[in-house]
Amino acid sequence: MTEAATIPASERRLEREAAKRRRSRRGAAIAALSSVLVIGGLAVLVLTSNGWPEVRETFFSWTEFKNAFGEVLSGFWLDVKVFMGVEVAVLVIALALALIRVSRSSGLFPLRLLSTVFVDVSRGIPTVLMVYLIGFGVPALQIVKPAPDPAILGAIALTISYSGYVSEVYRAGIRSVHRGQHDAALAVGLTHSQAMRLVILPQGIRRVAPPLLNDFISLQKDAALISIIGPVEAFRAAQIIQGENFNFTPLVAAALLYLAVTVPLARVVDRMGGTEGAVR
């Protein structure tokens, strides 16, 4: 930079920079204009449609919104507790599963087999069905009395479902680290598990952080699934009010709350992606 200042700019360079500025101004103008056209067009289309006045009343009623928001929000607090708890559990369990699956030691063979079966099964069953099965199946077993809180059972079901997925993400990360890294770790005298902990995992996990957080976006929405076994979380709370007043605004309120936690995470993922070369 300091060097550039000492070199006098040639005609040619000034010309090129001016052209670049013109091009970027034109780009910005086109982007602005096309946005106005597309968004404005859509707005006109919706707002002038025959059904709009009725839709506005049943989906976007401000009075209904204010009326329902408190209860939907307190329901959402349960969603937040569930997905945060599940996220922590999934991070730990999925890592354990991945480490077992990449291990070579013959002593771990039975565990490796179990992990593989667990991952296949947990990924293969629809999450909604898993919630149902755990939510009704575990109480029926009557192992613990009284039957555990359905919200906890729902959280367990989500943990099972997502641990399978996330362990595969971890495993992909571990396998993406070049074999030479493992060789070098052994060559400096580390044990296999030190090599894993100090060399392979830090690199592998960094690489798969974006897909891993992507799975968490999906998990934060799926927290709503626990409602089918009873707990009144945001979606269920909204549904109850909607049933009483025949107005869908509470559901829109719930949708906004889910967006409030998923969109920021999506932006974080966007920022992380593409830090290592690749197409920007």
Residue 107 tokens read as 């002593």
Size of residue set near other proteins by CB under 8 A = 18
- Is residue 114 involved in binding other proteins (CB under 8 A)? no
Do residues 166 and 208 touch, judged by C-beta distance below 8 A? no
Closest CA to 225 of 165, 161, 168: 161
What part of residues 201-230 is at the interface with other proteins (CB under 8 A)? 202-203, 206
Do residues 233 and 226 touch, judged by C-beta distance below 8 A? yes
- Is residue 35 packed enough to be buried (19+ CB in 10 Å), middle (13-18) or exposed (0-12)? exposed
Minimum distance of other proteins from residue 97's CB (angstroms)? 23
Distance CA 167, CA 175 (A): 12
- Is residue 198 involved in binding other proteins (CB under 8 A)? yes
Question: Binding other proteins by CB under 8 A: which of 51, 110, 124, 180?
Answer: 180
- Is residue 184 involved in binding other proteins (CB under 8 A)? yes
- Is residue 15 involved in binding other proteins (CB under 8 A)? no
Nearer Cβ to other proteins (205/226): 205
Closest CA to 177 of 210, 209, 197, 199: 199
Nearer Cβ to other proteins (145/179): 179
- Is residue 186 involved in binding other proteins (CB under 8 A)? yes
- Is residue 58 involved in binding other proteins (CB under 8 A)? no
Neighbour count for residue 174 (Cβ, 10 Å):
21
Neighbour count for residue 191 (Cβ, 10 Å):
10
15-23, 102-110, 192-200, 233-241 -> range binding other proteins (CB under 8 A): 192-200
Q: Which residues bind other proteins (CB under 8 A)?
A: 178, 180-181, 183-191, 194, 198-199, 202-203, 206
